[in-house]
Amino acid sequence: MRGIGARIKQLRLQKDMTQADLGKALNVHANTIGSWENETREIQLDSLDAICDYFNVKLQWLMAGDLDAVMGVSPEDSIYLPLISAKVGTGYGLENWDYEAIRKHPISRDLLPPGNRDKIRLLEVEGDSMYPTLSPGDLVAFTEGLIAGDGLYVLNRGGELFVKRLHFRMTDGSIAIISDNPRYKEEIIEEKEQQRHFHVVGKVVKLISGR
């Protein structure tokens, strides 16, 4: 079950903030944010209040994950995204995925990009190649079929799914497949080889903590 640390991380990622950004906003050190998210340090009540005030969430949700209090907004202002039963591999990938939704995950409509949200899906991450951006158990929200410039994408390679950072090279049409973890090497796919090597499933539009 996800704890308070996961919910703090979820709120931070939904605003595209680093731990240093949130620490500055709350007047605490980035290491403190990390210890809260990892649940290695007790969070004082005044800090809990500050987090709730900053993100406009209710203390009940932050402490217990009560879906009725999620994000401090009314049901009309929330959208429930389907969590797909298959996981996304960021290391070696996973096979045999499908589109069956096992549950819905609530998120504020204001945090999602405009446009057709019917194509937004959630998938769970495994592997460490995108660490520290993504950790095992994190969720990625992606828009099926969306290809729009550099960024994080869900890729299908031979029936296996990956989350990777793509850089589209306009000079020669090649694509750089990048892992945020420096232990993994960058891969360059020439334009004529792209269809044979992988298929872009969709672009990641939001990161959500799963810890």
Check residue 93 and give its pLDDT.
46
Tokens of 172: 């020669």
Check residue 130 and give its pLDDT.
92
Q: Are 186 and 169 in contact (CB under 8 A)?
A: no
Domain 4-72 has CATH 1.10.260.40: yes
Put the strands of the sheet holding 199-208 in their side by side order: 101-108, 78-89, 120-126, 139-144, 199-208, 151-157, 160-168, 175-178, 187-189
> How do the domains of the chain map onto residue ranges?
4-72, 77-208
Distance between CA 35 and CA 11 in Å, rounded? Answer: 15
Please list the alpha-helical segments (H only) found in the chain. Answer: 4-14, 19-26, 30-38, 45-55, 59-64, 194-197
User: Amino acid identity, residue 107?
Assistant: I
Mean pLDDT by 10 residues, the chain (211 residues): 79 88 94 91 88 83 59 57 60 47 68 74 85 84 87 83 91 93 93 80 80 49
- Note the pTM of the prediction, 2 decimals: 0.60
Distance between CA 181 and CA 14 in Å, rounded? Answer: 21
Backbone angles phi, psi at 85, to 5 degrees: -70, -25
Check residue 94 and give its pLDDT.
42
Distance between CA 180 and CA 149 in Å, rounded? Answer: 17
Q: Are 104 and 67 in contact (CB under 8 A)?
A: no
Same fold, 4-72 and 77-208: no
Tokens of 12: 């931070």
Distance between CA 94 and CA 159 in Å, rounded? Answer: 8
Check residue 97 and give its pLDDT.
44
- Domain at 77-208, CATH class: mainly beta
